[in-house]
Amino acid sequence: MTQAQGSSTQRMVRFGATMVALVVLTLVGCSDTEEEARGGGQGGARRGQGGPGGRRGGATAAIPVKTEAVTRAEMTSYIETNARLEAERWVDVVARTQGLVERLQAEEGDEVHQGATLLQLEKRELALQVDQARVALEGARSTHERSRSLHERQLISQEEFENTRQQLQNADVNLQEARLQLEYTDVRASIAGVVMVRNVEQGDLVRTNDVVFSVADLDPLQARIRIPEKRMTQVRRGQEARVTVDPAPDRVFDARVRMISPGVDPASGTVKVTLDVPSDDLLRPGMFATIRIVTDRRQDVLVIPKKALLLETDEDDVFVVREGKAERVRVNLGYVDGDRVEVLSGLADGDLVVTVGHQGLKENAEVRVVGAEGQR
């Protein structure tokens, strides 16, 4: 090898070594950059977890509750019992004669006046009996006139004359009875009211004293109740009462005490009280009703819903929301009327009592009022 060739070879080796070094440095730099990028992301995540913004725990979440404000209203005390509503008068209309039903002229639910025809029985047979009785009467009258003339001439005895007069009277009675039986073929309402029951169909054979209709006077209805004798001094004639029935639980019907029995039932120790309940389209005889006789009334008293009372203790407590916390308050109660209760002491007008969410609630627990009722 010549000196020139050796120098060329050395230059090529140095150039190759330089190129290899540059490639290695480039690869190392890229690796460091990627690692730094990856390490920086993880480090940021760790810093995020370790920083104040990523700390878990801290303050306890507020408990959501619903509230209602303490208000003022009228409250009443009452005697409560149950009874079936009854018609003031219920009359069974009976047939006064026998015959086939020829025509029905009333249906259940019809309002009828006293004397209105409810049904007609077949008349032809009884009409013939009227004609026969009329003919018999005319014959008896003629016989009596002849006997009168003969008696005046003393051709017959006084006894014979009296017999003809008696026959005339009997014939007249028979005619009246036949006419009455014919009149009974029109079965009429004995009172004004509403037809409650129809027991026959057209073409039925009706016999004497069969009940064919029932008519009731529904204005007013009545409720007969019994109250304990120890409370009889709280009830008087004309006293106000309230009536509710299951078909309309949200409606209250007015009533009045009509009669109070003067005696006490020794077996039950109760007094019978009769109330008038004014007629209404909804009320019907036989309905099961809750009767409340109002014995006292208080105006403008503090009232809360009954559902605000805590049930886990024997005392009367409620939770009141004050400054975002639940405060347990002991209350003294008065009258209870339906779903409301009177508060004698412990609360003030406008206090917010917890009605939903108070089960398990603790004293001074942080609460959050939800719902429209709490936003007063």
Convert the pLDDT of each residue in 146-157 to its tens digit. Answer: 888 888 888 888
Q: Kindly state whether residues 145 and 230 are assigned to the same domain.
A: no
**Residue that is last in its domain, among 193, 212, 231:** 212
Q: Kindly state whether residues 208 and 99 are assigned to the same domain.
A: yes
- Residue 124, Cβ neighbours under 10 Å: how many? 10
The answer to whether position 356 is within a domain reads yes
Mean pLDDT of the chain: 84
The answer to whether position 162 is within a domain reads yes
The answer to whether position 49 is within a domain reads no
Quote the pLDDT of residue 156.
Answer: 86
Q: Kindly state whether residues 265 and 200 are assigned to the same domain.
A: no
- Average pLDDT (18-33) is 40
Quote the pLDDT of residue 42.
Answer: 37
Quote the pLDDT of residue 243.
Answer: 95
Residue-range definition of the domain harbouring residue 314: 65-74+299-374
**Residue that is last in its domain, among 212, 245, 277:** 212
pLDDT at 14 > cutoff 80? no
Quote the pLDDT of residue 196.
Answer: 95
- Give the C-alpha separation, 356 to 354, whole Å: 6
Cβ atoms of 169 and 162 within 8 Å: the answer is no
Helices (H), 184-233: none
**Residue that is last in its domain, among 298, 326, 346:** 298
The model's confidence at residue 170, banded by pLDDT at 50, 70 and 90, is very high
The model's confidence at residue 57, banded by pLDDT at 50, 70 and 90, is very low
Bridge partners (DSSP) listed for residue 203: none
pLDDT at 322 > cutoff 70? yes
Q: Kindly state whether residues 140 and 193 are assigned to the same domain.
A: yes
pLDDT at 3 > cutoff 80? no
- Give the C-alpha separation, 261 to 299, whole Å: 31
Three-class secondary structure of residue 184 per DSSP: coil
- Average pLDDT (46-75) is 67
In this predicted model, what pLDDT tens digit does every residue of 175-230 receive, in sequence order?
999 999 999 999 999 999 999 999 999 999 999 999 999 999 998 999 999 999 99
Q: Kindly state whether residues 260 and 224 are assigned to the same domain.
A: yes
pLDDT at 174 > cutoff 80? yes
Burial of 112 from C-beta contacts in 10 A (0-12 / 13-18 / 19+)? buried
H-helix or E-strand spanning residue 79: strand 71-94
Q: How large a percentage of the chain has pLDDT more than 90?
A: 68
Quote the pLDDT of residue 337.
Answer: 85
Q: Kindly state whether residues 307 and 359 are assigned to the same domain.
A: yes
The answer to whether position 53 is within a domain reads no
The answer to whether position 42 is within a domain reads no
What is the domain-level CATH number for residue 115? 1.10.287.470
Cα angle 52, 55, 57; round to 5? 130
- Residue 287, Cβ neighbours under 10 Å: how many? 19
Quote the pLDDT of residue 59.
Answer: 56
Q: Of 66, 79, 69, 63, which is closest to residue 305 (Cα–Cα)? A: 69
Cβ atoms of 276 and 255 within 8 Å: the answer is yes
Cβ atoms of 279 and 229 within 8 Å: the answer is no
pLDDT at 34 > cutoff 80? no
Quote the pLDDT of residue 60.
Answer: 67
pLDDT at 275 > cutoff 60? yes
Quote the pLDDT of residue 38.
Answer: 39
The answer to whether position 46 is within a domain reads no
Q: Kindly state whether residues 99 and 200 are assigned to the same domain.
A: yes
Q: Kindly state whether residues 261 and 292 are assigned to the same domain.
A: yes
Q: From residue 290, how far is each of 171, 225, 229 by CA, in Å? A: 61, 10, 19
Strands 63-69 and 367-369: parallel
Strands 63-69 and 352-356: antiparallel
Q: Kindly state whether residues 102 and 181 are assigned to the same domain.
A: yes
Tokens of 292: 């409340």
Strands 111-112 and 340-345: unpaired
Please enumerate in sequence order all residues whose Cβ is within 8 A of that of 281, keeping only pairs 6 or more positions apart, or say none. Answer: none
Q: Indicate the Cα dihedral angle 25, 31, 33, 38, nearest 10°.
A: -170
- Residue 73, Cβ neighbours under 10 Å: how many? 13
The answer to whether position 294 is within a domain reads yes
Cα angle 159, 165, 169; round to 5? 140
Q: 168-174 long-range CB contacts below 8 Å, 24 or more apart?
A: 168/137, 168/140, 168/141, 168/143, 168/144, 170/140, 171/133, 171/136, 171/137, 171/139, 171/140, 171/141, 172/137, 172/140, 174/133, 174/136, 174/137
The model's confidence at residue 299, banded by pLDDT at 50, 70 and 90, is very high
- Give the C-alpha separation, 249 to 14, whole Å: 108
Cβ atoms of 290 and 244 within 8 Å: the answer is yes
In this predicted model, what pLDDT tens digit does every residue of 42-56 receive, in sequence order?
333 333 333 343 334
Quote the pLDDT of residue 280.
Answer: 81
The answer to whether position 104 is within a domain reads yes
Q: Kindly state whether residues 203 and 257 are assigned to the same domain.
A: no
- Average pLDDT (160-189) is 93
Tally of domains within the chain? 4
Sign of the alpha-carbon torsion through 107, 111, 114, 116: negative
Q: Kindly state whether residues 181 and 153 are assigned to the same domain.
A: yes
Q: Kindly state whether residues 309 and 258 are assigned to the same domain.
A: no
What is the domain-level CATH number for residue 234? 2.40.30.170
